Amino acid sequence: MAINFKGLYIGGQWVNTASHFDDLNPADGAVWATVPDATMTETVMAIRAAHDGFKAWAALPFQERSNYMLKVASVIERRKNDLVEALRHEGGGWIGKGMFEAGYVPEVFHAAAASNYAAIGEILPSENNKFSLAVRRPMGVITCISPWNFPALLTARGTAFALAAGNAVVLKPSEETPYTGGLFFAEVFEEAGVPAGVLNVITCSRSRVQAIGDELIDHPAIKGITFTGSTAVGRVIAARAGAHLKKACVELGGKDALIICEDADLDRAVKAANFGSFMHQGQICMSVEKVLVHEKIFDRFLPAFIERAKALKVGDPSRDPASIIGPLINDKQAARVKEQIEDAVAKGAKIALGGGVNGRFVEPTILLNVTRDMLVYRDETFGPVVPVIPFSTDEQAIAIANDTEYGLSSGVITRDESRGLAIAQGLETGMCHINCSSVNDEPHVPFGGSKASGLGRHGGRWSHETFTETRWVTLDRGGRPFPPQF
């Protein structure tokens, strides 16, 4: 029996919709839940509710907003198993991925609560002896649009800091994960007793997303947009927000490289490549999408990598907790990954492991002889497929890593820390991790990409900057002279 959710969450009330859409378990295509399909009417209701809720929320003492964030965290901690189960069924994720995500989300709310105890401004020198302040204040209503791959984590990241700072939010999760990225948070906020209108959640089907997405940018009450998703959609959203002169933080796709130097700890390198390439079927924005290996250790690295990747069990993670490689989220993603494998093989790539695509299930796949003309070299894969490419100098590795429009994260494995830092310096990515895979996140760090991987930063005080506006306020004490003519 499919789950039926209470409705949209608008102004602290559950609001029913005339129509619903199906939320599928990607492993078998079965309907896991039926979800409210919002129209423009409910979208505008949600924006107005957020607008109405904003003033009182922003006026609360900062500790009270922090206390609400801590209550939200503790409700999520108590409901951890519900979230893990939902992530397995709705998102097609391995149980370990669900445990990680459900454990991480409360941390984001803790960090957001803590962010309110930091300075909110600076005192500046004044040539006229004024008391001159740079102060940050909340912006108003923020739209948060989140993706399906880490739906709870990325919704938490887009909402927690914005709310703690005193903004109200309208959240629109992905149509693939409307519960774990959306209505779950509505349930949590209701239970935590967060005032009405502070968080509003609307869910809609893919056919309505464009019109509703436009309204969530265009409406005059919306003051800022935080979007996590594909570069194609992110560009459109940032351009539209720009036309209104509204602030948009867009966290987008990636084509991250892991550079393995000849002095690497081989065991660490193999594990970093395996985790980075195949965790959650490669559906992580920071997934390793190119493994670059120094030619001196290529022949030792490759068999060890194949051996470890081979051991990852493919199967339905909603039924079998031992299944580590679950389905891709939908047929479109599976078709895209299949096309990349076929294109590579047609142009001369060799399959060293895997290559099999069975419906939405794709085997962990390692490709050799990958060249610049192949889709898998250039485009984001977002699946468990990775090329292994040899290099001979650090300059060459850096050039191959940078040979993409993306610039999200990167990894370098070397025993020489200075060399690692020098390579990091050469990489055109927003983040770089030495002696680790490119997949890293913590709630208080400056997370974000360069180039086509996005604009803006999430995490800690960088989130605070993203979700507030800076004002210059002065207090004159009779010091500034005016021209005598006046």
Residues that bind ligand NAD (CB under 6 A): 145-149, 154, 172-175, 209-210, 213, 228-230, 233, 236-237, 251-254, 285, 380, 382, 408, 449, 453-454
Which residue of the set 42, 101, 107, 251 is catalytic?
251
Residue nearest to ligand NAD (CB): 213
Which residue of the set 285, 289, 363, 432 is catalytic?
285
**Annotation says 405 is catalytic:** no
Q: How far is the CB of 339 from ligand NAD (least distance, A)?
A: 16
**Annotation says 436 is catalytic:** no
Q: In the complex with ligand NAD, which residue's Cβ is closer, 12 or 147?
A: 147
Residue 414 to residue 436: CA distance in whole angstroms: 10
Q: How far is the CB of 204 from ligand NAD (least distance, A)?
A: 8
Q: In the complex with ligand NAD, which residue's Cβ is closer, 149 or 404?
A: 149
Q: In the complex with ligand NAD, which residue's Cβ is closer, 238 or 344?
A: 238
Q: How far is the CB of 164 from ligand NAD (least distance, A)?
A: 19
Q: How far is the CB of 48 from ligand NAD (least distance, A)?
A: 19
Q: In the complex with ligand NAD, which residue's Cβ is closer, 109 or 148?
A: 148
Q: How far is the CB of 146 from ligand NAD (least distance, A)?
A: 6
Q: In the complex with ligand NAD, which residue's Cβ is closer, 97 or 294?
A: 97
Q: In the complex with ligand NAD, which residue's Cβ is closer, 160 or 353?
A: 160
Tell me which residue has tokens 């974000």: 448
Q: How far is the CB of 274 from ligand NAD (least distance, A)?
A: 20
Q: Which of 415, 414, 454 minimizes the C-alpha distance to 431?
A: 454
| Residue numbers annotated as active site | 251, 285
